[in-house]
Amino acid sequence: MRFSRRLDSLPEYLTTRLNRRVAERRALGRDVISLGVGDPDLPPPEEARAALAAAVRRPDVAHYPTNRGIAPLREAVARFYAERFGVAIDPDTEVMPLLGAKEGLAHLALAQLDPGDVALVADPGYPVYAGGPTLAGAEAFGLPLLAANGFQPDLPAVPADVRARANLVIIGYPNNPTGAVAADGLFADLAGCGIPVCHDNAYSEITFDGYVAPSYLATAGARDSGIEILSLSKAFSLPGWRIAFAVGNAAMIANLHRLKTNVDAGMFVALQEAAIALLDLPASVRRAVADVYERRRNLACELLTAAGVAVDVPRAGMYIWLAVPDGSDSLAFAERMLTQADVVVSPGVAYGAAGEGYVRLALTQPDDRLGEAVRRMTRAL
């Protein structure tokens, strides 16, 4: 039997690897605490669960959906953008549902890139940023996000020959995995770079210390050749529901729609009804989720600091991007934490070469378990 060679260049996906290692340790009877996968432990809002349950009981929702999504859902996305970000969106041409941000990012690469093209991708970054272009036969060129530059990309440093072949930039702020927020002027630089842009907007609603994250689409010129992927997974604690949207440049969305009509049939209508309920919830619901992560951030950072471990306190997101305290590489440190502390952390190198020297801690455990995990780590150190 022969398989496609395009998969040869793809490493095992991080989440798959972490889940397997957790299962192995738990099979030995170990009490493993996972800070590896960004899988929220909080429940989805009751309003969304009620809307989903009611919709599932309707006989008409069993029919095929469409990739465009129902008009009330696209209108709800437009309302959300107007109220939350001050951005006017055309629901007929500038919104399309996605089966999660991961699916959208992977299919965008197929729709946007040819073999020989380049995608400029955040490094470190969500693994599909590089995986999608690789599957498309294109080259993923990392934009190093370094502590020295506040984890911001240096577009002028991209070699001229690489830039000439670039037909997509993929980046997102608030940033996963670093927790950085967009510097002043970054979105304007992206909008003016002359390359189609995809801004991954998964964490805009999880911000701390009074910071309010903007939308890339609020930047002048952003929609001339750019889209944003809005994910509801983290803001509303429902990653398994797979609800996200491509929003922005009408031509890019139409092109992505053309591809998706050939590979999937769109979002289940009952989920679309639930998404409308989510998008119309008051901002206080999203803020309550963010407050939980802010409390957990404070707890973890205080425990690390008290143990003499240097930590940069993030202003957003669900993670702590921790410089490896013992000087080892990130894979070795992650393995040490698993075998000596029964704590799973994500090795930074899994997010790109520039992630080496760091590990990511997900704040997706209840306070007592999170505190126990950090104390185990510091004892192992």
- Helix, strand, coil percent content, the chain, rounded in steps of 5: 45, 15, 40
d(CA 314, CA 317): 7
Domain range 46-282, its CATH number among 3.40.1190.20, 3.40.640.10, 3.40.50.10580, 3.40.50.2300 = 3.40.640.10
d(CA 97, CA 7): 27
Three-state helix/strand/coil letters over 124-189: CCCCHHHHHHHHCCCEEEEEECCHHHCCCCCHHHCCHHHHHHEEEEEECCCCCCCCCCCCCCHHHH
Q: Give the CATH superfamily of 5-43+284-380.
A: Aspartate Aminotransferase, domain 1 (3.90.1150.10)
What does the pLDDT read at residue 14? 67
d(CA 211, CA 248): 24
**Residue 207 β-bridge partners:** 316
Select from 368, 362, 47, 106 the least CA-distant residue to 232.
47
d(CA 85, CA 87): 5
Query: In the chain, where are the structural domains located?
Result: 5-43+284-380, 46-282
What does the pLDDT read at residue 39? 94
For the chain (381 residues), the mean pLDDT of every run of 10, in chain order, is: 83 73 83 93 96 95 95 98 98 98 98 98 97 96 97 97 98 98 98 98 98 98 97 97 98 98 96 98 97 98 97 97 92 93 95 96 98 97 89
d(CA 373, CA 316): 21
| 3-state secondary structure at position 97 | strand
pTM (predicted TM-score): 0.95
